[in-house]
Amino acid sequence: MTVNIVFKERFPSFIERLAQDFTVHDLDLPLDRLPADVAAKAEVLVTSGSAGASRAEIAALPALKLICTVGTGYESIDLQAARERGVPVTHAAGINAPVVADHAMALLLAVVRDVPRGDAVARSGGWRQGLTSRPMLAGKRLGVLGFGGIGQGIARRGAGFDMAVSYYSRSAKDFPGATRLPTPAALAEAVDFLICALPGDASTFHLIGAEVFEALGPAGFFVNVGRGSTVDTEALVAALRDGTIAGAGLDVFENEPGVPESLRNLANVVLTPHVAGGAPEAQALSAELIIRNIRGWLDGRRLETPVPEMRDMA
């Protein structure tokens, strides 16, 4: 059976793999500008958590039967609109957790050890000019906000750096050696490095603000590989500018795409454009999961990875 697939964003490796099994319309156009014949027959929409799918976009695809995300997140998909249409949503829960955890540690190392500045000095032909002695990771205290697959991966990597690990999550996790603290502020006060791996939803919106940064303190470093909406950007900029915290490494931002100028102008922050989950190994696994979900829908079997809110539709 032919299945017609459209993409909200262009993901070349996914397009290439899915095109081997299905009909992929690789048009690189907004959903509201698709040719009428393509929009009329599109049965599967592939998107990401940040790109999402609005009510209007779902309505623009009258034959839509399934929405699949390439990663774990799905915060910008209008689940109510999808449910009203009888369209289940799947995600790639946990598949990119290892590479996101890797990237979190890369950002932490980069900002704590001031790698970008050292690189710039060396590239300019200089030798240690303007560089200062930087803290090490070994022996420090690591706090992880959000303790799912990504958070626990970060914790294991932190333990490998001989760091004591604490975490905050809504429920306790069976993770020997890690201490659970009751609030983000309590966690920040107890650690030297704070890494956010929280999902983006109403319950986590601006959960990290001035109180957390003040608790982290002027020697503390903050990293975010979760979702930009979890952080009050103005409070973060103020904390970085005023020395409330020592520095930050950020892969996610409140209003993507794009990085606020207020962050780009700061010297004590390392920035990457939401690429933490991007590894060919993870993308290949995610593409295969999307294929299995599509085939499950075609065969009338249960979907393999419906989002939790739609397990009853799977």
**Per residue in 181-198, pLDDT tens?**
999 999 999 999 999 999
pLDDT in tens, 141-162: 999 999 999 999 999 999 999 9
Q: How many residues does the chain have?
A: 314
Q: What pLDDT is attached to residue 73?
A: 87
Q: What is the pLDDT of residues 34-44, one digit of tens each?
A: 999 999 999 99
What are the φ/ψ torsions at residue 225 (nearest 5 degrees)? -120, 15
Same fold, 4-95+279-313 and 97-271: yes
Q: What is the pLDDT of residue 159?
A: 97
- Measure the CA–CA gap between 290 and 295, rounded to whole angstroms: 9
Residue keyed to tokens 């303790």? 147
Name the residue ranges covered by the structural domains of the chain: 4-95+279-313, 97-271
The Cβ of residue 284 has, within 10 Å, a number of other Cβ atoms equal to 14
**pLDDT band, residue 209 (cuts 50/70/90):** very high
- CATH 3.40.50.720, applies to 97-271: yes
pLDDT of residue 107: 98
Q: Please state, in angstroms and rounded to a whole number, the distance separating the CA atoms of residues 199 and 124.
A: 40
Which helix (H) or strand (E) element contains residue 269?
Answer: strand 269-271
**Average pLDDT score over residue span 258-270:** 96
pTM reported for the whole predicted model: 0.89
Q: What is the pLDDT of residues 101-133, one digit of tens each?
A: 999 999 999 999 999 999 999 999 999 988 999
Architecture of domain 4-95+279-313: 3-Layer(aba) Sandwich (3.40)
pLDDT above 90 (res 313)? no
Give the whole-angstrom CA distance, residue 208 versus residue 233. 9
For the cut 80, the answer to whether the pLDDT of residue 99 exceeds it is yes
Q: How confident is the model at residue 1 (pLDDT cuts 50, 70, 90)?
A: low
Positions annotated as catalytic residues are: 227, 256, 274
**Residue-level pLDDT at 245:** 98
In the prediction, which pLDDT does 178 show? 97
